[in-house]
Structure formats: structure tokens, C-alpha cells
């Protein structure tokens, strides 16, 4: 299926297909357009002020740009049915990048670069990062589920920075205090340093820059623009055998970097996932990979392989329990509801309003 593009515009609009509630659909779009994240527009100042962590752990290592206003769009079966704001404004996405790393991991599995998700990473990545007694048992699945308990410092950031992190209190809670590590695979913890360790490991396996792989295997085939980019840190450059320096990209934006992209390209990625990794009859992701990413982690049923799930309605109480999302701090969500054929991209939305918007979208568009 090819995504149908409608004329670009900044105002709230909706075009409900037959059987859908046009008024409710437009109300959902207007709610998203008028409830902006409390984050300031100056993201550098916000990060330097210690939103995620206090000095010196908040030192910015990668690019940061001021943010735009709320924007987004909704697709049903690949056709746009609602839009608000400037959907071609390129912005940072924070942890949405983590979910894109899961897509790259699927490509690596399909190519045999990761023969077994449950095998220790050290069997295929030999760079010293998995040599210690604590890290040697870490598997690819553990890294993808955030259960690795990987220990170390990467690109000047220690994993301790995100220990004891409670994402429900992001920006308000206390984290970064040392605690005894558990055995790999026995504790779930949202930890950006460990996700960056996954990114570096994927770079080692592909033997080329991850943005190049993402562009070649995903973005160009789905007809995305060339406006997006994916960055790492000033100090995250490595040397690959037989090649020049390559930057290892980050899975978030706490310290700058990550994916800079607009809502329309994000919607295409969401549509690809809704279609089980197939675009215009061409399989881009291995058969079964989308399903693997949606298997709940035993230690956190709200989480799959770097994708947020809605098991039992725990993540989005008003939405379908089978829906799932790519989520980033500051009000970023790509929400996918297979039962309704819906993909919704919401940018810079006040997180307190997200469930309400999703509930309205689900009520406006019937299943089937």
C-alpha cells in the first residue's frame, strides 16, 4: 500500500471516511492542536537546566534544536483523515528513536547478522563492551527489552545516570543513584546508556552507519522525504575495520542527537509497521518481526522490543488493548491501532491529554 498524500496545511482539518464520526475526529485533532506540551520551545535551555538529570550528567554531547508547535496527522488504511499544525516541521523525537532501533534490529535478524536474539551479544560483538562478568551474559533480547542490567560508561555517560529511573516521574523524580546490579534479564529499567550500547552493537554488526541502513532499507522504499537525519554525539565516532570513522547514533535526545524528522515521515514508518513490514508488495521487515516486537516483556507487560504496548490497557486506558506506540519525551507518539487500521502521529502534545485524544480517535473510527 502506498501512503496517499493530501495537500499540506497548518490548520486543523479532517476528512472522515464513511462510517466514521467526522465531528469526533475533528474534535480529537483540535484537542491535540490546542494542548501543547509544557516543555519550552528552547530545548537546549531545557536540557541544560537539568530536566532529565542534574549537572554534570546533563552535559549535551550532540545537536539540539528549538522545537516547533503541536502538529500531527491520522491515517486510516494509509489515507490521511486528519491533520493539524505544520506536519513538515522537522523536530527532535527523543525516545521515538529507540523504536526505530528495534526496526533496524529486525533487519539485522533478517540478514543473519543477529542469528539468535537469545544469544549473548559478545558472541558476535567483540569490542570489550561485554567482557566483564556482569555483561557477558547480556543477550540481544535483553538489550531490546531494557532488561540487560549492562554496566559501564559509554561516550562519557555512565549507566548509573539512569539507574533507579521511573519514567512515570520523568523530569520530576530522583534517579541516578547507585544500586546493586541484578543478573542480566532479571530487572526492567529504562536506561538510555544501555540503549546506546545496543545502537553501537548494531553498528558493529552492520559494519556501516545506521542512518545509511535506515535510509536504504526503510526510508527510501516507503517514499519518505530526505528531510530527516539521525545523530549521535561529538565523541561517539568509532573506526570500523577497513573503513573511516563512523558515528554511533543515539536512541534518545537527553544529551542531544537522536532522530530529527517530521510527522509525515513518521506516519509512513508507522504505516509500514501496521502493514507488517510490507510496502507496495515488498517485504522490508522479516516476516514475524512486528509480532516479536509486540510480545510483552515478562518483567514489564507494557513493553515489547523497544515498543510501548497497551497490554490490559496499562499504557493507554482509553485505547484498544491491541494498540501500541513509539513514544518520546516532550509529547511524541506514533500510535498504531491494527483493529481500526489507524496510525496517528502526535507531536508536542501535552502527555496528560494523550489518552483522551487516543480514546476519541478510537471512538470516531470503528474497527474493521
Q: Are residues 153 and 75 in the same domain?
A: no
Domain assignment of residue 261, yes or no: no
Q: How far apart are CA 356 and CA 318, in angstroms?
A: 7
- Listing DSSP states for 25-71 in one string gives HHHHHHHHHH-B-SS-S-HHHHHHTTSSS-TTTT---S--------E
| pLDDT value at 176 more than 80 | no
Alpha helix segments (H runs only) across 172-305? 192-206, 210-214, 263-274, 289-293
Q: Stretch 322-346: mean pLDDT, rounded?
A: 97
The C-alpha cell 501500541 sits at: 324
Closest CA to 265 of 347, 162, 323: 347
Q: Are residues 55 and 139 in the same domain?
A: no
Contact assessment for residue 100 and residue 108, using Cβ atoms and an 8 Å cutoff: no
Domain assignment of residue 8, yes or no: no
pLDDT in tens, 302-318: 999 999 999 999 999 99
Total domains in the chain come to 2
Determine whether 63 is exposed, middle or buried from the number of CB atoms within 10 Å of its CB (0-12, 13-18, 19+): middle
Mean pLDDT for the chain?
94
User: Among the three residues 194, 221, 249, which one is the final residue of a domain in this structure?
Assistant: 249
Q: Are residues 51 and 111 in the same domain?
A: no
Contact assessment for residue 176 and residue 162, using Cβ atoms and an 8 Å cutoff: yes
Q: Are residues 107 and 193 in the same domain?
A: yes
Q: Are residues 79 and 221 in the same domain?
A: no
Q: Stretch 154-166: mean pLDDT, rounded?
A: 91
Q: Are residues 104 and 242 in the same domain?
A: yes
Please, which pLDDT band fits residue 3 given cuts at 50, 70 and 90?
A: very low
Q: Are residues 318 and 232 in the same domain?
A: no
Residue 6: per-residue pLDDT: 43
pLDDT in tens, 102-156: 999 999 999 999 999 999 999 999 999 999 999 999 999 999 999 999 999 999 9
CATH number at residue 111: 3.40.710.10
Residue 18: per-residue pLDDT: 85
How many degrees, rounded to 5, is the angle at CA 169 between CA 321 and CA 342? 30
φ/ψ (deg, to 5) at 356: -65, -45
User: Among the three residues 199, 215, 249, which one is the final residue of a domain in this structure?
Assistant: 249
Residue 12: per-residue pLDDT: 77
Domain assignment of residue 56, yes or no: yes
Q: Are residues 102 and 192 in the same domain?
A: yes
Residue 2: per-residue pLDDT: 38
| pLDDT value at 1 more than 60 | no
| pLDDT value at 297 more than 90 | yes
Range of the domain at 72: 13-89+266-364
Kind and range of the H or E run holding 82:
strand 79-84
3-state secondary structure of 248: strand
Q: Are residues 74 and 125 in the same domain?
A: no
b/e 176-205 (16+ beta carbons within 10 angstroms → b): eeeeebeebbeebbbbbbbbbbbbbbbbbb
pLDDT in tens, 11-48: 676 777 888 999 999 999 999 999 999 999 999 999 99
pLDDT in tens, 227-237: 999 999 999 99
Q: Are residues 216 and 270 in the same domain?
A: no
Amino acid at each position: 500500500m502506498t501512503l496517499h498524500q493530501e495537500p499540506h496545511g497548518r490548520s486543523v482539518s479532517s476528512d472522515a471516511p464513511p462510517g466514521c464520526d467526522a465531528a469526533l475526529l475533528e474534535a480529537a485533532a483540535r484537542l491535540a492542536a490546542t494542548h501543547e506540551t509544557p516543555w519550552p520551545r528552547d530545548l537546549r535551555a531545557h536540557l541544560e537546566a537539568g530536566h532529565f538529570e542534574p549537572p554534570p550528567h546533563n552535559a549535551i554531547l550532540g545537536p539540539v534544536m528549538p522545537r516547533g508547535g503541536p502538529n500531527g496527522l491520522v491515517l486510516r488504511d494509509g489515507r490521511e483523515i486528519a491533520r493539524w499544525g505544520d506536519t513538515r516541521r522537522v523536530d527532535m523525537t527523543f525516545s521515538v528513536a529507540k523504536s526505530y532501533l528495534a526496526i533496524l534490529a529486525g533487519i539485522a535478524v533478517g540478514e543473519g547478522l543477529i542469528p539468535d536474539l537469545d544469544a549473548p551479544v559478545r558472541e558476535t560483538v567483540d569490542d570489550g563492551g561485554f567482557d566483564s562478568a556482569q555483561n557477558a551474559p547480556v543477550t540481544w533480547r535483553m538489550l531490546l527489552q531494557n532488561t540487560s542490567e549492562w554496566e559501564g560508561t559509554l561516550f562519557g555517560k555512565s549507566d548509573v545516570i539512569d539507574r533507579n529511573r521511573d519514567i512515570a516521574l520523568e523530569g520530576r523524580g530522583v534517579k541516578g543513584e547507585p544500586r546493586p546490579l541484578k543478573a542480566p534479564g532479571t530487572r526492567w529499567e529504562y536506561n538510555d546508556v544501555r540503549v546506546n550500547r545496543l545502537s553501537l552493537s548494531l553498528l558493529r554488526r552492520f559494519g556501516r552507519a545506521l542512518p545509511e541502513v535506515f535510509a536504504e532499507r526503510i526510508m527510501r522504499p516507503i517514499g519518505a522525504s530526505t528531510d530527516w537525519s539521525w545523530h549521535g554525539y561529538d565523541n561517539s565516532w568509532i573506526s570500523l575495520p577497513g573503513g573511516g570513522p563512523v558515528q554511533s547514533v543515539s536512541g534518545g535526545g537527553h544529551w542531544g542527537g537522536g532522530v530529527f524528522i517530521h510527522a509525515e515521515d513518521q506516519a509512513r514508518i508507522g504505516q509500514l509497521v501496521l502493514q507488517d513490514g510490507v510496502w507496495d508488495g515488498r517485504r522490508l521487515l522479516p516476516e514475524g518481526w512486528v509480532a516479536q516486537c509486540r510480545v510483552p516483556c515478562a518483567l514489564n507487560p507494557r513493553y515489547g522490543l523497544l515498543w510501548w504496548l497497551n497490554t490490559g490497557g496499562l499504557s493507554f486506558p482509553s485505547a484498544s488493548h491491541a494498540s501500541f506506540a513509539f513514544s518520546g519525551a516532550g509529547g511524541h507518539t506514533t500510535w498504531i491501532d491494527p483493529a481500526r487500521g489507524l496510525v496517528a502521529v502526535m507531536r508536542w502534545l501535552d502527555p496528560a491529554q494523550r489518552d483522551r485524544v487516543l480514546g476519541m480517535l478510537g471512538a470516531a473510527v470503528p474497527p474493521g
